[in-house]
Amino acid sequence: MDVVVLVSGRGSNLRAICAAIDAGICDANVVGVVSDRRNAAALEFAKRRGIPTKTVSLRKGDDRDAWNESLADEVATLNPELVVLAGFMRVLGAPLLERFPGRIINVHPALLPSFAGHNGPQDALDGGVRISGCTVHIVDAGVDTGPILAQAAVPVLADDTADTLHARIQVQEHQLLPRVIHQIALGAITLDPLTVSTPVADPDRSLCVPDA
């Protein structure tokens, strides 16, 4: 399955996807990496692997509608079967959503529907929960509101900061996201914006709290 990955930063989830592909446990081919930031470390990683890269920058004062159109056009030139948001820190507009309906997924560092938005780990700490984790979901027009495909949990420790909690959540993200992509490639998870099946936990195992 041909995949385009959208990134904004260092690309740890992109690296995890590529590692799973190399290990033969993710039946996908990353055909392009697109970023909204020219200096994103993920772009250099992609270039070293020979993966085509594109940058569609959005600066303060830029026309957001024009940016959304440009982003959709650039992604479409790569002809992906699936678009994966892996640390992409922008809310997608209608042009990309309409171009790839039900074929865009995101990984979010919280157990949705709780703690949507850009600060999931800190929100979990502020909320006093004992379990947090990550969610892979279909992207819709809202912010982290699309149908949930899979989740994995981690304990929230008494001495956690947002950074330490996020680091443990990312360990689970790096396992969960490639597995979900693999399950989509196999047809075990069907992405259909009209008839999404019942959300499941981690496709390979039940939702659980890993050993601390």
Per-residue pLDDT reduced to its tens digit, 113-152:
999 998 999 999 999 999 999 999 999 999 999 999 999 9
- What letter does residue 199 receive in the DSSP assignment? P
E-assigned strand segments in 63-205: 82-85, 104-108, 131-138, 148-155
pLDDT in tens, 16-33: 999 999 999 999 999 999
108 noted as active-site residue: yes
pLDDT more than 70, % of the chain: 91
* CA-atom Rg of the chain in angstroms: 16
Mean pLDDT of the residues in the chain: 90
pTM listed for this prediction: 0.88
Candidates 2, 44, 5; CA nearest to 177 is 5
Residues 166-172, mean pLDDT to the nearest whole number: 97
The token duo for 24 is 């033969």
Ordered by start, the domain boundaries in the chain are: 2-186
Instruction: Single out the catalytic residue among 108, 137, 166, 182.
Output: 108
pLDDT surpassing 50 at residue 202: no
Q: Is 94 helix (H, G, I), strand (E, B) or coil?
A: helix
**CATH for the 2-186 domain, from 3.30.930.10, 3.40.605.10, 1.10.340.30, 3.40.50.170:** 3.40.50.170
> Is the backbone of residue 65 left (phi > 0), alpha (psi -120 to 50) or beta?
alpha
Distance CA 99, CA 209 (A): 37
Confidence of residue 193 (pLDDT cuts 50, 70, 90): low
